[in-house]
Amino acid sequence: MAASDPTGIVTAKAGASAAVSIENAEGGMSLKDALNGTEPDSDNIFLAAQRGDLQVVRELIESGKAKATDRDEQNITPLHWAAINAQIATCKYLLEQGAEVDAVGGDLVATPMQWAARNGYVYVIQLLIAHNADPTISDSQGFNTLHLVTHSSSVMALLYLLHQPIAIDSQDSVGHTSLMWAAYQGDVLSVELLLKHGASVHARDDQGMTPLHWAVVRGNKTCIRKIVEAGADMNARDNAGKTARDMAVELKAIGAYRRALEEGGMGEDGGRKGKPFNDRNTRFAILILPAIFLYMIFTTLSILPWYTGVPLAGAEFFGMHHIVTRVLLNHKSYTDNVTQSPYFSGIITGSLVWVGFCWFTRLVHNTEGYAFTHLAFAISFLLCAYNFFRAITLDPGTCPKPANDAELKDIIEELASTGRLNGSTFCIYCVARKPLRAKHCRVCDRCVGRFDHHCPWVWNCVGVNNHRQFICFVLTLVIGIGLFDYLTYAYFSSVLPPMPDDPLGNSTMIADTMSAVATMALSEGDMPTTPPAPPTISSSCFLPAPICAATAYDPFLFVVAAWASLQLSWTFVLVASQLWQIARQMTTLEVSNLGRFGYMGGRGGTSLSGQQGHTHNAGHEGHEHTHSHKHGAGGCWGFILNILGLDRFTKGKAGEGLARASTAANPFDLGIIGNCKDFWTTGHELGVEYDRLYDVPVEGFRATRERRLAEQRERGEEYGARRKGKGLLMGLGIGRSNAGYQPIRMDDQV
């Protein structure tokens, strides 16, 4: 393969994925005929193994008409056919009958495990390795099992093999490592997994190309970024003297190359881009900047007419966003990575500051007859601020990771042997077991127990440990805004006299009245902290007369109240949906996924039963991967929906999920009262720790808890203390899940 033709690897890959010949000489019938319905020879053990007809295979072996070690004219055994079609029961029986686990055969001189590896059949691979199959054997093309699994893009099979005795940087006949193959394929998950397990980014093939060169050939910016972040030498040259950047220019992939480095905060030389401050001071600056800009925006709207104030205020808001994204974060995009910063938390903080300022300097002194309302607002304000702080600072419920490699290997082996090694039970990003109702957050880069959603407004995930604080924050925020608006209305009602409607814009009468009131108020000293009214009201005010009067009398307070009221548009919806979900014992994640994967009672990931019994048609050279992705709203509108928390109603089949939520079977449902108690006690009512909950008990949570209570009463113990360590429901040996129930599968997760 010439270095001047990087895409020449396609030919090699096609050979790597090519299926062996499917002609069966013994039966005189091709597999294609068998698949098309032609009656096979009842004595043909190869076709029976291919179909997974265990009864026929057993009858042939027990009658002596065939043996597990038989080979056809292409030197292929029945175990090969059973393995490539994921006929696990047949594979197991053949192995019990003495089938040679490492028999080589076919045009590629490959083993049964290599046939299974071409399609990523992790459970077949696990079975064969349990019978001492050797993953280091290479076929006629120089591919071992690790290479072939990488070709299949089956990340769980790759994970399993990485914990077997095989060198991660083993090379094929032309020097390609598994990382090079994954990088060329643009397989981000495989690249990340290989890097986490120590794959070398400095390895070179026979043409001197590194994994970074191959990532550039594919043009996948994420693969390029991850390999560079892992320490790849960006100045490494292949045998033709080309660096990865030179190859990107030649292949017209320089745009992806630059975006990859930009996303990683690097320049084209791989060096880190400079920032005005260090990370700690940058976060602090982003947190306080919105309070300063909100004051500027409110002041601008207060002192200028609306037709100049609104555009200028919009420009100031854009300026704030520009400083945060382009200067402090030093990114070229206005939306990427913003949610990883405390920007939106700063907006909430700044809003609280100016609402509190207006309340203390204006409303307290001028609405003395509303003592109870002031007390309620003060309590709501303090609770809102406190729970806002706690929602940010509390750990949301990070799930534990294996303490060492031995524990990790035991977990992987246990899941694979029970047919449950999939994205629902194991997190590729954390390389750890994933509890039920947990999800890996890509923003925070961790798995969170009973994950609800990642909230940019609290700069944190919302999970089992801080969900209560988040609910209290949003609930008191809504209540506080309502009370603030009520006090603002009372304030303007007390300082402004009743006035007739002015549909024709007769602002002169309003201005005269306002000036007289303001003069009288100032002379009597009734409002020492209230700014004086302007002498005139702009004739351009198109709002109703009372609102025009309010904007003229105290525009700063009016603008702050309007800004606070604007937040009700999304916070009220958020509160209503959250309270409904709590009553239903569901999370935002689960509701939004009901329409796609049927969380409650549906299938999640690829289980043993879902993978076995695949049939491969004749004449197929290799296999194809078909990916279908459906996304919700994108671009700027999608970004806005995301930060407002409204994307759950528009993304994917969220509407269908909401419709199904009221009828979906839910093993965690204890009724409205029980569900609320379980939420506020973080799992005490169900008797679980959500960051360690891996299975649903066969008898159900309620029955399990009642049985445990009875056992404790018999021992004279009290069920009051919190669980210590792993309780009955927390370990691996809790029993199998209820029939029909598996945890949710993520659309953007494995």
At 168-189, the pLDDT tens digits run 999 999 999 999 999 999 999 9
Amino acid 475: pLDDT: 97
Q: Out of 109-123, 205-219, 490-504, pick the least confident.
A: 490-504
| pLDDT tier at 295, thresholds 50, 70, 90 | very high
Residue 123 sits in the same domain as residue 11: yes
Q: Out of 215-229, 367-381, 720-734, pick the least confident.
A: 720-734
For 299, the token pair is 């002041």
More confident residue, 210 or 727: 210
pLDDT over 60 (residue 64): yes
Is there a domain that residue 184 lies in?
A: yes
Amino acid 36: pLDDT: 47
pLDDT over 60 (residue 142): yes
Spatial distance between the Cα atoms of 641 and 231, rounded to a whole number of angstroms: 36
With beta carbons less than 8 A apart as the criterion, state whether 437 and 450 touch.
yes
Residue 115 sits in the same domain as residue 157: yes
For 76, the token pair is 């292929």
Spatial distance between the Cα atoms of 389 and 384, rounded to a whole number of angstroms: 9
Last residue of a domain, one of 263, 297, 331: 263
Q: Out of 54-63, 223-232, 292-301, 496-505, pick the least confident.
A: 496-505
Amino acid 519: pLDDT: 46
Amino acid 621: pLDDT: 34
For 205, the token pair is 């093939």
With beta carbons less than 8 A apart as the criterion, state whether 499 and 546 touch.
yes
Given its phi and psi angles, is residue 638 left (phi above 0), alpha (psi -120 to 50 degrees) or beta? alpha
| Residue range 220-226: mean pLDDT, rounded | 95
Is there a domain that residue 483 lies in?
A: no
Residue 185 sits in the same domain as residue 291: no
Is there a domain that residue 232 lies in?
A: yes
447-492: per-residue pLDDT in tens? Answer: 999 999 999 999 999 999 999 999 999 999 999 999 999 999 999 9
Is there a domain that residue 619 lies in?
A: no
pTM over 0.85: no
Amino acid 28: pLDDT: 38
Amino acid 399: pLDDT: 95
Amino acid 331: pLDDT: 79
| pLDDT tier at 606, thresholds 50, 70, 90 | low
| Residue range 625-631: mean pLDDT, rounded | 39
pLDDT over 50 (residue 237): yes
Last residue of a domain, one of 263, 289, 316: 263
pLDDT over 90 (residue 744): no
Last residue of a domain, one of 341, 357, 372: 341
657-684: per-residue pLDDT in tens? Answer: 555 656 667 888 888 999 999 999 998 8
Amino acid 597: pLDDT: 53
Residue 226 sits in the same domain as residue 83: yes
| pLDDT tier at 434, thresholds 50, 70, 90 | very high
Among the listed residues 455, 461, 541, 548, the single catalytic one is: 455
Is there a domain that residue 404 lies in?
A: no
- DSSP secondary structure string for all residues of 124-186: HHHHHHHTT--TT---TTS--HHHHHHHHT-HHHHHHHHTSSS-TT---TTS--HHHHHHHHT
pLDDT over 60 (residue 3): no
541 belongs to the catalytic site? no
| Residue range 723-734: mean pLDDT, rounded | 37
Q: How far apart are the first and last CA of the chain?
A: 34
Residue 56 sits in the same domain as residue 141: yes
Residue 19 sits in the same domain as residue 140: yes
Residue 257 sits in the same domain as residue 311: no
Amino acid 650: pLDDT: 55
With beta carbons less than 8 A apart as the criterion, state whether 6 and 217 touch.
yes
| Consecutive H or E run containing 462 | strand 460-462
Residue 101 sits in the same domain as residue 184: yes
pLDDT over 60 (residue 584): yes
| Residue range 695-724: mean pLDDT, rounded | 72
Is there a domain that residue 631 lies in?
A: no
Nearest to 97 by CA among 141, 150, 54: 54
Task: Give counts: helices (H), strands (E), the chain.
Answer: 33, 8
Residue 190 sits in the same domain as residue 86: yes
- Structurally, how many domains does the chain consist of? 2
Is there a domain that residue 177 lies in?
A: yes
Residue 328 sits in the same domain as residue 252: no
Maximum Cα interatomic distance, the chain, rounded to a whole number of Å: 116
Residue 170 sits in the same domain as residue 57: yes
* Residue 441, phi then psi, degrees to nearest 5: -90, 120
Is there a domain that residue 165 lies in?
A: yes
Amino acid 496: pLDDT: 77
Amino acid 637: pLDDT: 53
* Residue 30, phi then psi, degrees to nearest 5: -80, 160
Spatial distance between the Cα atoms of 346 and 650, rounded to a whole number of angstroms: 27
More confident residue, 511 or 190: 190
| pLDDT tier at 561, thresholds 50, 70, 90 | very high
Note down the domain range covering 286: 281-341
Spatial distance between the Cα atoms of 220 and 183, rounded to a whole number of angstroms: 8
Instruction: Tell me the CATH number at 220.
Output: 1.25.40.20
Residues pairing with 439 in the sheet: 448
Average pLDDT of every residue of the chain: 81
Amino acid 523: pLDDT: 41
Amino acid 264: pLDDT: 80
Amino acid 569: pLDDT: 87
Residue 299 sits in the same domain as residue 153: no
